[in-house]
Amino acid sequence: MLINILTSAKECDIQTSNIWIFDVLGQAIPNGFKSFQELMNHGEEDWVRFDDEKISRETTAARLFSSGTTGPPKAAVLSHYNLIAQHTLVYEQAQRPYSIRRVVALPMFHAACVPGAHTSALKAGHVSIVMRRFGLSPFLHHVKIYQTNELMLVPPIAIALIMSGLAGDKLETIKHAAIGAAPMGKEAQEKLKQLCAPGATVTQVFGMTETSCICTMFHYWEDDSTGSVGRMLPNIDAKIIDEEGNDITAYDVRGELCVRGPTVISGYYKNEPANHQSFDRSHFFKTGDIAYCSSPSKKWYIVDRKKELIKVRGFQVTPPEIESVLLSHPLIIDAAVIGIKGSDVDGEMPRAYVVRRPGEEGRRLGEREVKEWCGERLARYKELTGGVRFVEAIPKNASGKILKRILREQAEREMKMARL
């Protein structure tokens, strides 16, 4: 890791004297470097303090890169105000009747984890057990021995907990689990709930790097089994726009979700083209997600990424719906669906990339069985007319989001080979 850091430091003109070594296990420190523990010897004389809103809004706390699921990652500028607002609106709006204890297994440089690991742990004293990297058995071991009561999960980890058969009683202390980064089927959500403590809540949240993590959620006392991502945090304005950017905001109307509020970033670092494209004149941020708000419940539902909707014969097909059906198959442990070019009549065709369960039974699973499984559970225009491809792993970023642009590139190569 030090080699990579030195390369990046040189490109950014950062002196080696400003690089500190974490030697918590007593590792030898390379010549020319200092232990991070030397920082503890310095007082507060040079510490810059501020407590007013203006400076908080204008002072950068972090530059976090967006997910890069549809294009190159962009450096989102999060201010101190953004992170303070995120903690306040998520945790102080409706406080738990217990002290939060959680295992931190997600990357601590990603927006999904930054507020909890770096802000809430200090502001509210949340106990955080930090893992060097995620491993299913070590994760379950840590949850049990440290008696943790909350989980922050992405769908791949949640599915692994359900499908592995290793959980046993190791999640019986969990009172609440929040799932984000990508949609998860309500059937899987319910299965995870059955592994937790009696009365536990398992809900989905929606957020982005650009919203400092969470944007919509259910507070701890609420439960949900409909696949909703909850309600907007307080002080968050939301609207729905159509493909031309017209405001079509109304209950039960689907369109691109746009948000504005104290947790929304001011923009991307040194990237005016992206700022111009992502924010409108009223400084609403265009999330790129198709969503709607249900009129009876006032709950929000994320349909899919705008760029990932599949248009089949004029119908809009959402990959998460097909992915949820695929993941309900006992011999499938991971899956992703994209649209590939079809005939002039079809427009696009859904194609599935599937990871089979290890073992002889999983290896026998074929394309015909997968298509039949989906055909029995989905409308005809949602059938996998683009085929099924079996792969060793689904490409994902650090937070667990599927990198569908990589799958689309793979599909293009496959189609070119088929034409030869």
CA distance 327 to 304: 17
Say how far apart CA 65 and CA 112 lie, in whole Å.
Answer: 11
Please tell me the least confidently modeled range out of 22-31, 254-263, 364-373. Answer: 22-31
- Give the Cα separation of 113 and 83 in Å (integer): 12
For the cut 60, the answer to whether the pLDDT of residue 69 exceeds it is: no
The yes or no reply on domain 309-419 and CATH 3.40.50.300 is no
* C-beta separation of 86 from 119 below 8 A: yes
| Cβ atoms 258, 286 nearer than 8 A | yes
Least confident stretch, 111-120, 143-152, 188-197, 355-364: 111-120
**SS3 of residue 298 by DSSP:** coil
Check if the beta carbon of residue 193 is closer than 8 Å to that of residue 200: yes
Contact of 77 with 102, CB cutoff 8 Å: no
Please give the angle made by the CA atoms of 304, 160 and 358, to the nearest 5 degrees: 110
Report angle CA 195, 198, 200 to the nearest 5 degrees: 75
Domain at 59-305, CATH homologous superfamily: ANL, N-terminal domain (3.40.50.12780)
Which residue is it, tokens 């994760």?
Answer: 139
344 has pLDDT over 70: no
Q: Is the pLDDT of residue 55 over 70?
A: yes
The whole-angstrom separation of Cα 106 and Cα 113 is 6
HSE-up of residue 337 (Cα within 13 Å, Cβ side): 29
Residue with tokens 């929304």: 264
Per-residue pLDDT at 93 exceeds 90: no
Euclidean distance between CA atoms 94 and 342, whole angstroms: 49
Domain boundaries of the chain, sorted by first residue: 2-41, 59-305, 309-419
**Residue 33 burial (CB count, 10 A):** 15
Task: Name the DSSP letter for residue 85.
Answer: H
- Mean of pLDDT over the chain: 90
Residue 188 pLDDT exceeds 80: yes
Q: Which residues of 265-293 are buried (b: 16+ CB within 10 A; e: fewer)?
A: bbbbeebeebbeebbeeeebbbbbbbbbb
Tens digits of residue pLDDT in 255-301: 999 999 999 999 999 999 999 999 999 999 999 999 999 999 999 99
Query: Exposed/middle/buried for 310, CB within 10 Å: 0-12, 13-18, 19+?
Result: buried
Q: How far from 49 is each of 59, 120, 221, CA to CA, in Å?
A: 11, 19, 36
- Asked if pLDDT for residue 70 goes beyond 70, the answer is no
Identify which of 246, 227, 231 has the alpha carbon closest to the alpha carbon of residue 303: 227
Distance CA 138, CA 127 (A): 18
Q: Convert the pLDDT of each residue in 210-233 to its tens digit.
A: 999 999 999 888 999 899 999 999
Minimum mean pLDDT among 22-26, 35-39, 363-367: which range? 22-26
pLDDT bin (cut points 50, 70, 90) of residue 168 is very high
In the structure, how many helices (H) and strands (E) does the chain have?
Answer: 13, 21
What gap in Å lies between CA 177 and CA 203, rounded to an integer?
6
Q: Are 80 and 61 in contact, with CB atoms under 8 Å apart? A: yes
Token output for 323: 């992915």
Question: How many alpha carbons fall within 13 Å on the CB side of residue 226?
Answer: 17
